[in-house]
Structure 1
Amino acid sequence: MAIHPEQPDPPIPEHTDPAPEGAVDPPSGDLPRSGPPRGQEEPATDQATGPDAAGAGPPPSEDEYSAELQELQDRWRRALADLDNLRKRHARELERERKAERSRTAAAFLPVLDNLELALTHAGADPGAIVEGVQAVRDQAVNVLELLGYPRHAETGVAFDPARHEVIGVVEDLDASPGTVVDVLRPGYGDGEHQLRPAAVTVAKRE
């Protein structure tokens, strides 16, 4: 009968409390460093950072600055020349418009002169026709001024308006209300800013 040698009993481990459910075992070995130790800074590098680092290049040279300045001066001179030409052209056009307007106004009065000459031609034949002719010419001239934007004002019995009337005298008139126009010595033409002249009038005296 074979006799087996006695084997030593395995060591009994020390009693430890079981780990709680859900616990994570600590990692073994050295932990990787996430940054420099406290109080120490990483050495600065010469590489530039930021949005301009990728497109950074050598600064422009003096010749490039001179060329850009020369181009700006040329553009400035051309702008001044264009502005001066525009001013001269505007002055020529304005003078041309003034001449054209004077010609249109003078042409509007040519029929008035024609009728005056016609009335003078028949002056010796019928004196009564002269008066009628002069009145017709007057009415024609008044119509021309109205078409040009200058209506005639020769109303009486209206309230005095310093913007339309020029007082020549003050009279006492029992039939007229105080401050109203009694007589028009010289008609006025135009209104407001487009007034050729105010009407020269006499006004009833105020009480």
Structure 2
Amino acid sequence: MSTQPQQPTQPQQPDPVPEGAVTEPEQEQGLPAPGAAEARGAGGEGLGPDAAGGPDVGETDVRADVRADERAAEQAAALAELDDRWRRALADLENLRKRHARELERERAAERARTAMALLPVVDNLELALSHAEADPGSIVEGVKAIHDQAVTALARLGYERQGETGVPFDPARHEVVGVVEDPEAEPGTVVQVLRPGYGEPGRQLRPVAVAVAKRE
């Protein structure tokens, strides 16, 4: 019995696609079909966001509240410390002001006492001159001169020397012009007459020198 050789099986060819028909793209190998991930998430299959080990929302809120309370407590403590420092500084300043006022008053009283002590000998000599005026009227002039010199010396010791020079240029810091005279022998603007002496240097005068100056031609 003779056998006929079998013909190789040819792969079946797909039917030709009619011209103009729309074909669906072939699914790529190894990629899930569209909508598969959403289907697994909707059906409970797969891991959700809470299954990744993230912190619980309630626990996070509690920790935030604790940190806020700690910050508030620290701020309150810092504010209390600043308030205490401010009150201490005010108290120290008030004590300093009172102490300075007391010291200033003591210095003023001491200065008044020194001035009065410097003038006491002048008063004593005046009383002595007056007591001898009736017995020897001529001696009163000499006594008054001596008392005058003593008073001028007392003022100089207090820092206020007598100023009354003539023939010096006019100085607005030391002199006060109360008159102008014609003097052909004097330079214009020169002090030719002292009408009232002054006491003290410029910047710490009891009073300036009242003078008459030569007229400028």
On whether the aligned pair clears a TM of 0.5, the verdict is yes
Aligned to 2:208: 198
Are residue 130 (structure 1) and residue 140 (structure 2) matched? yes
Shift of 1:176: 2.0
2:211 aligns to what SS in structure 1?
strand
Aligned to 1:121: 131
Q: 2:162 aligns with which of 124, 138, 152?
A: 152
Rounded Cα–Cα distance in structure 1 between residues aligned with 2:71 and 2:212:
85
Shift of 1:112: 0.5
Aligned to 1:79: 89
Are residue 88 (structure 1) and residue 98 (structure 2) matched? yes
Rounded Cα–Cα distance in structure 2 between residues aligned with 1:82 and 1:157:
58
Aligned to 2:111: 101
Unaligned runs of 5+ in 1: 1-57
Aligned to 2:33: none
Shift of 1:174: 2.1
Aligned to 1:182: 192
Rounded Cα–Cα distance in structure 1 between residues aligned with 2:83 and 2:173:
55
State the aligned residue count: 150
Rounded Cα–Cα distance in structure 2 between residues aligned with 1:169 and 1:157:
15
Shift of 1:61: 4.7
Unaligned runs of 5+ in 2: 1-65
How high is the sequence identity, in percent, across the aligned residues? 72
Rounded Cα–Cα distance in structure 1 between residues aligned with 2:90 and 2:164:
54
Rounded Cα–Cα distance in structure 1 between residues aligned with 2:207 and 2:179:
17
**Cα RMSD after superposing both structures:** 1.5
Rounded Cα–Cα distance in structure 2 between residues aligned with 1:202 and 1:67:
75
Aligned to 1:16: none
**What is the identity, as a one-letter code, of the residue corresponding to 1:121?**
S
Correspondences of 1:50-89 after superposition (within 5 Å): 60-89=70-99
Shift of 1:67: 2.6
**What is the identity, as a one-letter code, of the residue corresponding to 2:139?**
A
Rounded Cα–Cα distance in structure 2 between residues aligned with 1:157 and 1:62:
82
Question: If you compute each CA radius of gyration, which structure gives the higher value, 1 or 2?
Answer: 2
TM normalised by structure 1 equals 0.68
2:140 aligns to what SS in structure 1?
helix
1:197 aligns to what SS in structure 2?
coil
Rounded Cα–Cα distance in structure 2 between residues aligned with 1:206 and 1:188:
24
TM normalised by structure 2 equals 0.65
Q: Deviations over 1:61-119 (max 9, x none)?
A: 53343233212211211111111111121112112211111111111100000001100
